[in-house]
Amino acid sequence: MTMTITSPAFGDGESIPVQYTADGDDISPPLQFDGVPDEAVELALICHDPDAPRAGGWTHWVAWGMAPDIGGLPENVPPDPKASAPGVTQGENSWGRIGYGGPSPPPGRPHRYQFTLYALSAPVGLEPGASAAALEAAMGRSVVARATLTGMYGR
Protein backbone atom coordinates (compact mmCIF):
# COMPACT_ATOMS: atom_id res chain seq x y z
CA MET A 1 0.00 0.00 0.00
CA THR A 2 1.28 3.47 -0.89
CA MET A 3 1.30 6.17 1.77
CA THR A 4 -1.04 9.08 1.06
CA ILE A 5 -1.89 12.47 2.53
CA THR A 6 -5.29 13.95 1.72
CA SER A 7 -7.62 16.62 3.05
CA PRO A 8 -11.40 16.63 3.27
CA ALA A 9 -11.16 20.42 2.68
CA PHE A 10 -9.53 20.29 -0.79
CA GLY A 11 -8.26 17.78 -3.31
CA ASP A 12 -4.79 17.44 -4.76
CA GLY A 13 -4.22 20.33 -7.19
CA GLU A 14 -7.38 22.15 -6.04
CA SER A 15 -7.78 25.55 -4.39
CA ILE A 16 -7.23 25.79 -0.65
CA PRO A 17 -10.40 27.24 0.94
CA VAL A 18 -9.96 30.80 2.18
CA GLN A 19 -10.42 29.93 5.89
CA TYR A 20 -7.04 28.11 5.75
CA THR A 21 -5.24 31.18 4.37
CA ALA A 22 -4.04 34.52 5.72
CA ASP A 23 -7.10 36.06 4.01
CA GLY A 24 -9.40 33.98 6.22
CA ASP A 25 -9.04 32.44 9.67
CA ASP A 26 -5.41 31.37 9.02
CA ILE A 27 -5.99 27.96 10.58
CA SER A 28 -4.44 24.67 9.51
CA PRO A 29 -6.56 22.45 7.27
CA PRO A 30 -7.62 18.96 8.34
CA LEU A 31 -5.30 16.28 6.96
CA GLN A 32 -5.66 12.50 6.67
CA PHE A 33 -2.78 10.01 6.49
CA ASP A 34 -3.14 6.51 5.06
CA GLY A 35 -0.84 3.66 4.12
CA VAL A 36 1.89 4.49 6.63
CA PRO A 37 4.51 1.73 6.35
CA ASP A 38 4.93 -0.70 9.25
CA GLU A 39 8.59 0.28 9.72
CA ALA A 40 7.65 3.90 10.48
CA VAL A 41 8.25 4.99 14.08
CA GLU A 42 7.48 8.68 13.58
CA LEU A 43 5.80 10.98 11.04
CA ALA A 44 6.90 14.47 10.02
CA LEU A 45 5.22 17.13 7.89
CA ILE A 46 6.46 20.18 6.00
CA CYS A 47 4.19 22.59 4.12
CA HIS A 48 6.19 24.60 1.61
CA ASP A 49 5.46 27.12 -1.16
CA PRO A 50 8.09 26.59 -3.88
CA ASP A 51 6.61 29.48 -5.92
CA ALA A 52 7.33 32.19 -3.34
CA PRO A 53 9.57 34.98 -4.64
CA ARG A 54 12.05 34.39 -1.80
CA ALA A 55 14.97 32.17 -2.83
CA GLY A 56 14.20 28.62 -1.71
CA GLY A 57 10.49 29.28 -1.34
CA TRP A 58 8.50 29.83 1.84
CA THR A 59 7.84 27.33 4.63
CA HIS A 60 4.33 27.44 6.09
CA TRP A 61 4.44 24.57 8.57
CA VAL A 62 7.01 22.29 10.18
CA ALA A 63 5.79 19.39 12.35
CA TRP A 64 7.15 16.07 13.57
CA GLY A 65 6.95 13.60 16.43
CA MET A 66 3.61 12.22 15.27
CA ALA A 67 2.82 8.59 16.02
CA PRO A 68 2.58 6.44 12.87
CA ASP A 69 -1.03 5.54 13.73
CA ILE A 70 -2.19 9.15 14.27
CA GLY A 71 -4.30 8.96 11.11
CA GLY A 72 -4.00 12.67 10.36
CA LEU A 73 -4.27 16.09 11.93
CA PRO A 74 -7.46 17.94 12.81
CA GLU A 75 -8.39 21.37 11.56
CA ASN A 76 -6.86 24.26 13.53
CA VAL A 77 -3.88 22.61 15.22
CA PRO A 78 -2.89 25.04 18.00
CA PRO A 79 0.35 26.98 17.39
CA ASP A 80 1.99 25.38 20.43
CA PRO A 81 5.52 23.97 20.17
CA LYS A 82 4.17 20.70 21.59
CA ALA A 83 0.48 20.52 20.68
CA SER A 84 -0.60 17.60 22.82
CA ALA A 85 -4.17 17.39 21.49
CA PRO A 86 -3.07 15.93 18.15
CA GLY A 87 0.32 14.80 19.53
CA VAL A 88 2.66 16.86 17.37
CA THR A 89 5.84 18.87 17.89
CA GLN A 90 6.00 22.02 15.78
CA GLY A 91 8.79 24.10 14.39
CA GLU A 92 9.28 27.60 13.10
CA ASN A 93 7.80 28.66 9.76
CA SER A 94 9.32 31.30 7.46
CA TRP A 95 7.54 34.08 9.40
CA GLY A 96 9.56 33.05 12.46
CA ARG A 97 6.43 31.75 14.24
CA ILE A 98 5.62 28.32 15.64
CA GLY A 99 2.90 26.34 13.88
CA TYR A 100 0.92 26.79 10.71
CA GLY A 101 0.87 30.02 8.71
CA GLY A 102 -1.61 30.01 5.84
CA PRO A 103 -1.02 31.00 2.22
CA SER A 104 -0.40 34.71 1.72
CA PRO A 105 0.98 35.05 -1.82
CA PRO A 106 1.53 38.33 -3.63
CA PRO A 107 -1.00 39.20 -6.35
CA GLY A 108 -0.55 37.21 -9.53
CA ARG A 109 -0.72 33.59 -10.51
CA PRO A 110 -1.70 31.03 -7.85
CA HIS A 111 1.06 29.40 -5.83
CA ARG A 112 1.47 25.71 -4.99
CA TYR A 113 1.39 24.72 -1.33
CA GLN A 114 2.95 21.30 -0.90
CA PHE A 115 2.04 19.40 2.27
CA THR A 116 4.66 16.63 2.36
CA LEU A 117 4.28 13.80 4.85
CA TYR A 118 7.37 11.77 5.77
CA ALA A 119 7.38 8.32 7.39
CA LEU A 120 10.57 7.86 9.39
CA SER A 121 12.33 4.74 10.65
CA ALA A 122 13.92 6.68 13.54
CA PRO A 123 12.82 9.64 15.67
CA VAL A 124 14.34 12.99 14.67
CA GLY A 125 15.08 14.05 18.25
CA LEU A 126 14.70 17.78 17.63
CA GLU A 127 13.65 20.35 20.19
CA PRO A 128 10.40 22.25 19.50
CA GLY A 129 10.85 25.32 17.32
CA ALA A 130 13.34 23.81 14.87
CA SER A 131 13.38 25.01 11.26
CA ALA A 132 12.44 23.03 8.16
CA ALA A 133 16.13 22.82 7.25
CA ALA A 134 16.94 21.35 10.67
CA LEU A 135 14.11 18.84 10.31
CA GLU A 136 15.25 17.84 6.82
CA ALA A 137 18.81 17.33 8.09
CA ALA A 138 17.60 15.33 11.09
CA MET A 139 15.43 13.07 8.92
CA GLY A 140 18.45 12.20 6.81
CA ARG A 141 18.31 8.59 5.66
CA SER A 142 15.47 7.59 7.97
CA VAL A 143 12.76 8.52 5.43
CA VAL A 144 11.05 5.26 4.43
CA ALA A 145 8.11 6.84 2.57
CA ARG A 146 6.80 10.24 1.56
CA ALA A 147 3.54 11.56 0.16
CA THR A 148 2.53 15.02 -1.03
CA LEU A 149 -0.77 16.88 -1.20
CA THR A 150 -0.63 20.08 -3.28
CA GLY A 151 -3.13 22.87 -2.73
CA MET A 152 -3.36 26.03 -4.83
CA TYR A 153 -4.00 29.60 -3.72
CA GLY A 154 -3.74 32.96 -5.43
CA ARG A 155 -4.89 36.54 -5.07
CA–CA dist 145, 110 (Å, integer): 28
Does 75 score more than 80 pLDDT? yes
Residue 127 CB: number of other CB atoms within 10 A? 10
Looking at the structure of the chain, the number of domains it has is: 1
C-alpha 11, offset from chain centre: 15
Does 36 score more than 90 pLDDT? yes
Domain containing residue 45: 4-153
Give the SS3 label for residue 109.
coil
Residue 94 CB: number of other CB atoms within 10 A? 19
| Burial zone of 67 (CB within 10 Å; 0-12 exposed, 13-18 middle, 19+ buried) | middle
C-alpha 3, offset from chain centre: 15
Per-residue pLDDT band for 61 (boundaries 50, 70, 90) equals very high
- Model pLDDT for residues 2-20, shown as the tens digit of each residue: 999 999 999 999 999 999 9
* Secondary element (H or E) of residue 139: helix 132-139
Which CATH number do you get for residue 110? Answer: 3.90.280.10
150 beta partners: 114
